Amino acid sequence: MTRTFNFKATLLLAAVLLLPAAQAATMSKADYKADKTRINEQYKSEKSACGSQAGNAKDICVE
């Protein structure tokens, strides 16, 4: 393997590893709170839909 190939591979790996960190930094606190509230409400709604079931079927529904 050549030195240039190793350097390019290293740069590509660094870019791939840093991409999620760059995306996470763009979320504002207001967006975070709104998404957290939406997810919590969705969870409660879906969990209440499992209430009519019993036993193993209810366990599977909740999971």
pLDDT band at 30 (very low <50, low <70, confident <90, very high): very high
What per-residue confidence (pLDDT) applies to 57?
Answer: 87
Say what the pTM is: 0.49
Q: How many whole angstroms separate alpha carbon 39 and alpha carbon 52?
A: 22
In angstroms, the Cα distances linking 43 to 1, 2, 36, 47, 49 are 51, 52, 11, 6, 10
3-state secondary structure 1-60: CCHHHHHHHHHHHHHHHHHHHHHHCCCCHHHHHHHHHHHHHHHHHHHHHHHHCCHHHHHH
What per-residue confidence (pLDDT) applies to 41?
Answer: 95
